[in-house]
Amino acid sequence: MITKEILQKRRKVLQHLQGADMILLPANMNSPMNCRDNCYPFVQDATFQYYFGMNHPNLIGVIDVKEKKDYIFGKDFSMDDIIWMGKIKFLKEEAEELGLEFRDLGELSNFVKGRRVSITNYYRADTVFYIAKLLEKDPYTLEKDASEELISKIIEQRNHKTEEELEELEKAVNVTREMHLEAMRVVRAGMKESEVVAALEAVAAKHECYLSFPTIFSKNGQVLHNHRHDNILQEGDLVILDAGAKLPSGYCGDMTSTFPVSKKYSDRQKKIYNIVIRMFEKAEQLCRPGITYREVHLEVCKVMVEELKELGLFHGEVENIVIAGAHALFMPHGLGHMLGLDVHDMENFGEEKVGYAEFPKSTQFGLASLRLGRELEEGFVYTIEPGIYFIPELFELWRKEKKFEEFLNYDAIAKYMDFGGIRYEGDFVITKDGCRRLGKKMLKYPQEIEEYMENTNQRLE
């Protein structure tokens, strides 16, 4: 549980910021779908939630660096709000319970006038225009005013998860696990993909959770992020499920599983699936403080190349294949990303600032999509998510261009163009001397997945 004392301790770190009188950290605003009172589901800005702990829209958090005081500015609930929403705790009361002084939003303009204000960069236009108007700045150049020192301090804090945060993340991962198990339990030939999605998302709702991101579920596993759910499932189909739960506290789970509609993997499916699991386990073995995640990614890619070479899909030296980037035909994404209050934690600050530190991000196809490349440190929470995909459009383009002909056996690869794709993902924390998977034990091997799916009344604890 994230307590008042924890929030105060977090804010105190920012009170030592140099060159500023105060720090402005805005909450997200409500986002109307078609009119002011009909809004998209509200998702709080993760940085605001991290420091102020309030899950309401249209608030501004202020850390007064000079006076060492913390404020919330907002419009408190009126009788009209109570009529429509019922008896609710007033914002002033909630703020004071969290060690914050509450002030009316109308006072903010005078409060910041003539003072040196530190801000971060913003990813929503409504926030940009609000802050620009408040500070009398040009909204189109406001990003240039973002404090690099402030952003660095926030990233450093949020990158290292505390025990209390790990408890929340464990909860999120366990709900996520239950969502995946429910999908495995209900799936059958003749169902629409959307029916399976409805069943697994109901699990999140049952636990009073939101979704970490729109559910990815598809028989077309070669499409990395397929949000369409309109296919009819058939015997022999292999489905990818990439889904996660987001707790009311904001912490996210993110897991991917790949399983057969017919409850049994074909020999061909099992062969590719087992390669992905060997890739996953290689990453798990390597992850520890001091190693860069880029190194882990490349070693995992070597495992994939070695295994696919055995199937006749590659020729040449494994090292040369990976250096050239020919392996990205089968895995054009990175091995994983940071995880926390955002499913891709803090990427609003810039992928290179969060996922890279010691060296720049690669521009090579495939490796350029590695969101986390930096040296791993104790307390980092991140995903391991290797995959193998047979993408017809990419295959045809590369074959037409004769790309990496010295490494790729195009004739052999062509026989897999009806396969789809496989991905497996788990959430981890870096420990003192290695890493630990978060959450209860998750099904991983083909035999245990098949056994679970055969016994549809089975409920795993």
Residue spans of the domains in the chain: they are 4-159, 163-454
Please count the other Cβ atoms lying within 10 Å of the Cβ belonging to residue 422.
Answer: 26
**CA 134 to CA 433: how far, in whole Å?**
48
Class for the domain spanning 4-159: alpha beta
The candidate with the shortest Cα–Cα distance to 338, out of 387, 368, 372, 367, is: 372
State the fold for domain 163-454. Creatine Amidinohydrolase (3.90.230)
The percentage of the chain sitting over the pLDDT mark of 90, rounded to a whole number, equals 95
Please count the other Cβ atoms lying within 10 Å of the Cβ belonging to residue 191.
Answer: 16
DSSP 259: E
Residue 346 has pLDDT above 90, yes or no: yes
Residue 461 has pLDDT above 90, yes or no: no
Backbone angles phi, psi at 314, to 5 degrees: -125, 155
Residue 459: its pLDDT value, please? 61
Per-residue DSSP letters for 351-418?
HHHHH-SSSPPP-STTGGG-S--SBP-TT-EEEE--EEE--HHHHHHHHHHTTTTTTB-HHHHHTTTT
The percentage of the chain sitting over the pLDDT mark of 70, rounded to a whole number, equals 99
The candidate with the shortest Cα–Cα distance to 243, out of 235, 255, 252, is: 255
Residue 164: its pLDDT value, please? 98
Specify whether the CB–CB gap between 26 and 51 falls below 8 A.
no
The candidate with the shortest Cα–Cα distance to 70, out of 10, 119, 19, 131, is: 10
Residue 358: band (very low, low, confident or very high) from pLDDT cuts 50, 70, 90: confident
Residue 276: its pLDDT value, please? 99
Provide the residue count of the chain. Answer: 461
Residue 458: its pLDDT value, please? 62
